[in-house]
Amino acid sequence: MEFLKSAGGKVVGGLVALVVVAAAIAWFQASPESRERWVGTFGRGLGWTLIALAVPWVSYPLIAWVKEKRSNLAGVILVGSLTILEALALLWMFDFTIRGTLGWTFFGAGILIAGVYNTFACDFIASKIG
């Protein structure tokens, strides 16, 4: 709560408001074809995010098996495999085409964030297994 009261919090809040206003202006000035493309891209991105959030939790049996192995290498292989599968799913959802620098930036950032999330989620799940 203190962050929101500080100068940094006010700057971040102002930047968020600026992005929202800019996005609204861009939306209303865009052609119907552009809006349709944006909604499709956002929908696929949201769908992939939900998949990436669910993958470690549905991999519970694999996580339990890796925990029994007591091997860091097995854990690295599990997290790496989950992340690679998520990357392939993201590529598939966008027809295996990534266009432009911004597209590659979002793809890379999404995969990095998914990898970090997989690491923490698998570690958390493993800690809860008896």
DSSP per residue, 38-49: HHHHHHHHHHHH
Residues 49, 72, single domain; the answer is: yes
pTM over cut 0.85: no
pLDDT band for position 5 (50/70/90)?
Answer: low
Q: Among 1-15, 38-52, 84-98, whose mean pLDDT is lowest?
A: 1-15
Q: Greatest CA span in the chain, whole angstroms?
A: 57
Residues 38, 73, single domain; the answer is: yes
Enclosing domain of residue 8: 1-30
Inter-residue long-range contacts of 84-88, CB under 8 Å, 24+ positions, other chains counted:
85/55, 86/48, 86/51, 86/52, 86/55, 86/111, 86/114, 86/118, 87/111, 87/114
pLDDT band for position 38 (50/70/90)?
Answer: confident
Residues 116, 57, single domain; the answer is: yes
pLDDT band for position 3 (50/70/90)?
Answer: low
Residues 46, 90, single domain; the answer is: yes
Residues 22, 70, single domain; the answer is: no
- Number of structural domains (the chain) is 2
Residues 84, 97, single domain; the answer is: yes
Q: Does 6 score more than 80 pLDDT? A: no
Residues 58, 4, single domain; the answer is: no
Distance of alpha carbon 108 from alpha carbon 62, whole angstroms: 26
Residues 85, 116, single domain; the answer is: yes
Residues 21, 53, single domain; the answer is: no
pLDDT in tens, 78-99: 999 999 999 999 999 988 988 8
